[in-house]
Amino acid sequence: MHTAGGFAALLRGFRLALTVEGLRPCTIAHYVRDVQRFTAHLGDRSPRLVTTADVRAFLVHFQDGHSPKTVREAQLALRRFFRFLVREAEIQADPTTGMKLASFRVNPQPTYSEAEVKRLLLACDSRTPVGIRDRALVLTLFDTGLREGQLVSIGLPDWERRIARVDGKTGVRDVPLGTATLQALERYARRWEITEGSPWRGKNRPLTGSGV
């Protein structure tokens, strides 16, 4: 079978398939970008002629200037792409089958002691609007373990169910909130007269990640 448009047409179909699967736009963009890097490395080679050796050669080339984590992500993108081609009967065999994923070491994140958390909360002056906001923000971070991007995406809590909805890399999910955090969020929302949308506000607009 010959596909009109070569890899360009296949990438279009791949992007649509990922969208139908419900992947997040940023994830789709990363997958497509990594596959485009591979196809640019191949040149005019037909997808039917791609071998495991070709994939390995690209990954060896790609390692130069990229972290092991980025290499692994590119490998995952290629594996997903070739599995798509097999499902679509564009190729008969997946050249990434049996290839071990690149390994990388995850550095543990620093933790805070209870005394450090208390000092941080004491720095939030609850007599001021900004201090009330900062205390709610700090308690939410420590209570939920959210990342910066997830924190700025959080919505106002469901007060009865004691949960808040966040949007992260794995999609939208609900996170439970402890009593102290819920109380701090309620006080903050009430004092700042926030009734909808993102609760984290600056002087004139919602807080961004850098604002946090």
pLDDT confidence of residue 110: 72
Using one digit for the tens of pLDDT, what is the confidence trace for 139-185?
998 888 888 888 888 888 988 999 888 876 667 788 899 999 999 99
Higher-confidence position of 198 and 191: 191
Using one digit for the tens of pLDDT, what is the confidence trace for 71-81?
999 999 999 99
- Using the predicted structure, report yes or no on whether residue 3 has a pLDDT greater than 50: no
Least confident of 24-28, 42-46, 89-93, 206-210: 206-210
pLDDT confidence of residue 187: 93
pLDDT confidence of residue 166: 83
pLDDT confidence of residue 104: 62
pLDDT band, residue 195 (cuts 50/70/90): confident
Express as a percent the part of the chain with pLDDT over 70: 93
pLDDT band, residue 102 (cuts 50/70/90): confident
pLDDT confidence of residue 142: 86
Using one digit for the tens of pLDDT, what is the confidence trace for 117-135?
889 888 988 899 999 999 9
pLDDT confidence of residue 135: 93
Using one digit for the tens of pLDDT, what is the confidence trace for 14-47?
999 999 998 888 889 999 999 999 999 988 788 8
pLDDT confidence of residue 188: 92
- Domains, the chain, ranges and CATH? 6-87 (1.10.150.130), 114-192 (1.10.443.10)
Please write down the HEC assignment for all residues of the chain.
CCCCCHHHHHHHHHHHHHHHCCCCHHHHHHHHHHHHHHHHHHCCCCHHHCCHHHHHHHHHHHHCCCCHHHHHHHHHHHHHHHHHHHHCCCCCCCCCCCCCCCCCCCCCCCCCCHHHHHHHHHCCCCCCHHHHHHHHHHHHHHHHCCCHHHHHHCCCCECCCCEEEEEECCEEEEEECCHHHHHHHHHHHHHHCCCCCCCCECCCCECCCCCC
Express as a percent the part of the chain with pLDDT over 90: 42
Q: Is the pTM of this model over 0.75?
A: no
